[in-house]
Structure 1
């Protein structure tokens, strides 16, 4: 009798397990996109400034692989099946470095840590306070930044940036696209600040 029962339970268990696997949605992975414009060829013969980007910090809440969105009741949604393809802090730093290399064609832009390239002339330190979305509304970006002279360790410039970008829809692809957009706008702000340094 026990043998017959186990023979009956095995197929039922297998079917249940298979059903559970089939019902699990696939995980989608996302990356932030940098500016797509190719920089124009540089014609200057002057020595280029070396500018280091970083370190970049993000809120502890965002230091996870899942994409985080804020809900109207001050709670958050952590999307188990919509994740960053690489650590978010690294992706943000890579995009900012790429964007500034595109915008600052007269400078050499290095990502933190840049020890392999030697010393830099200036360092841009970025502390991101908000980098998230309210579904069906907008993405929010807020950061404090400082530009330091690395040769004499003095503060050259600093600022507080706050930006909002409306969402086309509440989908995760739309959210990631809008987050890339606010990073592009922030990069342009940093580029203007760097351009004022002589």
Structure 2
């Protein structure tokens, strides 16, 4: 009976020792590192743009949809090592889906330039009038190069919602110096870039021709 009791105790001790060893091993795995999260903010210092003064009275602008490249449609931050090779940061993530973030900050930036009351997220449940426009934005490329340069390549079109006709198309390449491997400065650089992009979007709005209302 004593041998059975001692054998049971020995098995329990071995099980505890094994569990401690497994826990220690897991603690040393790369997955135990903390994950850092980053946000891209609306551009600082944006105010009413000169183009805003020439926009028609009563204009309203819907922002969306936003398209981003497939390689960037993930929570992990993507950077480019050179050539076609990309690095996926396992422990450095965007705090929100990148497409949603770009739509949010683009709406905020355009609103800062032409007025909050003129901008709304698209699609929206309302009846468009002759002064209702939509900006559809495609981010063709986005990233940070090995030298730290952040860049965005974008194209967009402006559509009149009343007759569902594309009234203006535009595109642009944007770059901003950041620190290679520093995702704080990368996010800040993208914030600056999307501020410049918003100014180009507003410039496209200013070129839209509206048909006169008919009685």
Normalised-by-shorter TM-score class? 0.7 to 0.9
Q: Secondary structure at the match of 2:82?
A: coil
Mapping 1:1-198, distance limit 5 Å: 1=7, 3-18=9-24, 20-21=26-27, 24-37=32-45, 39=47, 47-105=57-115, 108-115=118-125, 117-119=126-128, 121-197=132-208
TM-score normalised by length of structure 2? 0.79
Superposition CA RMSD, Å: 2.7
Question: Greater CA radius of gyration, 1 or 2?
Answer: 2
Gap runs ≥5 in structure 1: none
CA contact (8 A) 1:122 1:148 kept: yes
Q: Secondary structure at the match of 1:71?
A: strand
- 2 CA distance for matches of 1:34 and 1:7? 58
Gap runs ≥5 in structure 2: 1-6, 210-215
- 2 CA distance for matches of 1:26 and 1:139? 25
Q: Tell me the matched-pair count.
A: 195
TM-score normalised by length of structure 1? 0.86
